[in-house]
Amino acid sequence: MAFKDVAGNVRVKRILKLALDRDRVPNSLIFGGPAGVGKTAMALTLAKTLNCQTLTADSCDACPSCRAIDEGRHPDVMTFAAEVRDVKIEQTRLLKQMAYLRPMLGKRRVFIIEEAENLNDASANSLLKVLEEPPSFTHVFLVTASPFRLLPTIRSRCRTLAFSAIGREEIEEILLERDFSREQARILALLVDGNLERAQELAWDDVQALKDEAWSLFESLASSDRASRFLERFGALPKAVQEEFGEVLEVFSSFARDILLLRLGGDPSLLLNPDLEGRLRATSGSWNTTQILGVLDEIDRALTDLRGNFNKGLLAIAFFSNFTELTHV
């Protein structure tokens, strides 16, 4: 993937292009920002460009060097596997030794550490010397969704590239190029909240299942005798379903917007969930505008908090009590 093919984050690309044009790419960089926005793809593209045999400001994706990096078999470009929860001390020791060896094949040696927030103190400390006095031919790229969890001593030795979520419209366009209809692409782009990778993983059947689940939770939340179903689902939230909680909230938000639209007598062709029109209409009849706006507010607040460093189970409980207080009057 060349820079022109990496979606979004135009500002980061511009910074990198400028640095490449001047042959001034910093040796230590943090690729920080939300999950699924292409941080690793950008780091790899930069590694390829630094070693490309034909181009200087982008990767050609065709020369032996670009191809070897894409296939993960370039001796000078190492990526530490993302699945490794705790990047092992041996790996950072190896990095430290290799960092001072001239590249074997390419022009630059590049180390990409994914989920760098999982570096333990020993590994981080062993990295420090390399970050402090890197040889001119060596680059270390730390990829992380939580730059604030890196040791301050690490952060202060690196330039940070701040990535942001991919815009909904851009995700929609990318999905349209695949087999999604305009309406499906719109709903899917809404759901993933800027996480392009997630959008590319989801099949329409998954989305439909998520919507069904979300509707049944939404309905039960709004009914006074079944409201606790929501708490059973999200009150004690294991890490694996945290992402799902965010997605359910995004679907809730689309329900609440539709309910508001119907309540205000808007054009039903603008509904985000036209398949649920009958049910949405029934709810819009039983809530007043203040209640609907309150619900929208609560959903937005929960989504914002969810991006922060809060206890997700507690968030779900707070959301539950505010939602039911608003609607069970």
User: In terms of CB distance, is 48 or 157 closer to Zn ion?
Assistant: 48
Query: By CB under 5 A, how many residues form the interface with Zn ion?
Result: 4
First to last CA, the chain: 54
Using CB under 5 A as the binding rule, whether residue 1 contacts Zn ion is answered as no
Stretch in the footprint of Zn ion (CB under 5 A) among 16-24, 56-64, 240-248, 314-322:
56-64
Task: Copy the structure tokens of residue 3.
Answer: 């820079």
Spell out the residues 6+ positions from residue 123 whose beta carbon is closer than 8 angstroms to its own: 86, 87, 88, 89, 91, 92
To Zn ion, the closest distance from the beta carbon of 107 in angstroms equals: 11
**How many angstroms separate the CA atoms of 71 and 207, rounded?**
32
Q: Which of 25, 37, 47, 66 binds Zn ion (CB under 5 A)?
A: 66
Q: Which of 52, 251, 292, 303 binds Zn ion (CB under 5 A)?
A: 52
Determine the residue type at 246: G
Considering the complex, state which of residue 61 and residue 305 has its C-beta at the smaller distance from Zn ion.
Answer: 61
Q: Which stretch binds Zn ion (CB under 5 A): 54-62, 91-99, 119-127, 128-136?
A: 54-62
- Which segment (44-52, 86-94, 146-154, 255-263) binds Zn ion by CB under 5 A? 44-52
| CB-nearer residue toward Zn ion: 139 or 157 | 139
Per CB under 5 A, the list member of 15, 19, 60, 296 interacting with Zn ion is 60
DSSP letters, 265-310, are T--GGG-S-GGGHHHHHHHHHHS-HHHHHHHHHHHHHHHHHHHTT-
φ and ψ of 17, to 5 deg: -60, -45
User: Rule CB under 5 A: which residues touch Zn ion?
Assistant: 52, 60, 63, 66
